[in-house]
Amino acid sequence: MSPESETSGGLKTELTLGLPGDLQVQKSGIKRGFSEVVDLKLVNDSKAESQPPSTTQVVGWPPVRSYRKNLVKNCKYVKVAADGAPYLRKIDLEIHSSYQDLLTAMGDMFTCLTICNVLNERKLVDSANGEEYVPTYEDKDGDWMLVGDVPWKMFVESCKRMRLMKSSEAIGLGAAAPSTPSKGSSTSC
C-alpha cells in the first residue's frame, strides 16, 4: 500500500503533505508515518480574497519586543531562514492554524517565492529561476525534519526554527539519519 494512495482524499480541495521516499525511523514513537499524514483542507482553492492588512500579517506590528511575545503562552516565535535570502525572518507559529496557513505566510514573507502544489508535495518556488524550496524545521531533539510530517499542534510544540531548503539539498531528509545542515552560519537561535 503506497502512502500516497491512502492519503489522497476524494475531494479536489483536500491536499496532503508527505514525501516520496522511505518512512523515517520513529524516534519518539509519537511521530507519525506517512500513512497517517495530516490531511489539509483548503477553504478556497483560489488565493484568499485580498484583505486589509490585519495585525497578524504586518511585520513588526504591533511594536512588541519578541521576548514579550514568547512569554504570554499563546505566542511562539521561530526564526525562518531561506537558502539564498540575505536575512532571517521570524514567524509566530501560534497565529497560524494549519500548514497551509503557514506556507501562505512564508510565501508572503519571502516575496519572490510562491506556493506550488505539485502532486502531494508542498513546496515554494522562486518564480524568477524556478528553484524549488522545501520547508524544513529543527525539532526539540535537534533533528531536521520536513515540515508536514506530524500533526500541526505537535509541530508547533516541537519546532525550534525553520529553514527553507533548496529541494536538491533536502533529499535524504526524513530518512533514517536526518542530516543537519551546516551550523556555521553567523546567526544562531
Partner 1 sequence: MAYSFPEEVLEYVFAFLSSDKDRNAVSLVCKSWYEIERWCRRRVFIGNCYAVSPQIVIRRFPEVRAVKIKGKPHFADFNLVPERWGAYVYPWISAMARSYPWLEEIKLKRMVVTDESLELISKSFKNFKVLMLSSCEGFTTDGLSSIAANCRNLRELDLRESDVEDLSGHWLSHFPDNFTSLVSLNMSCLGSEVSFSALERLVSRCPNLKTLRLNRAVPVEKLASLLRRAPQLVEFGTGAYSTEIRTDIFSNLVGAFSGCKHLKSLSGFWDVVPAYLPAMYCVCSRITSLNLSYATVQSPDLVELISQCPNLKCLWVLDYIEDAGLKALSSYCKDLQELRVFPSDPYSAEPNVSLTEQGLVTVSAGCPKLQSVLYFCRQMSNAALVAIARNRPNLIRFRLCIIEPQAPDYLTLEPLDTGFGAIVEHCKELRRLSLSGLLTDRVFEYIGTHAKKLEMLSIAFAGDSDLGLHYVLSGCESLRKLEIRDCPFGDKALLANAAKLETMRSLWMSSCSVSYGACKLLGQKMPNLNVEVIDERGPPDSRPKTCPVEKLYVYRTVAGPRADKPDFVWTMDEDGALRLS
Among 1, 43, 48, 59, binds partner 1 (CB under 8 A): 59
Among 30, 64, 119, 171, binds partner 1 (CB under 8 A): 64
Question: Is 58 near partner 1 (CB under 8 A)?
Answer: yes
Among 62, 130, 142, 184, binds partner 1 (CB under 8 A): 62
Q: Is 133 in contact with 126 (CB distance < 8 Å)? A: yes
3-state helix, strand, coil in the chain (%, to 5): 20, 25, 55
Question: Is 142 near partner 1 (CB under 8 A)?
Answer: no
CA distance 62 to 85: 25
Interface region with partner 1, contact rule CB under 8 A, candidates 15-23, 88-96, 140-148, 173-181: 88-96
**End-to-end CA distance of the chain, in Å?**
40
How many CB atoms lie under 10 A from the CB of residue 38?
19
CA distance 51 to 129: 29
Q: Which is nearer to partner 1, 8 or 70 (CB)?
A: 70
**Residues in touch with partner 1 (CB under 8 A):** 53-56, 58-69, 71-75, 85-90, 92, 95, 186-189
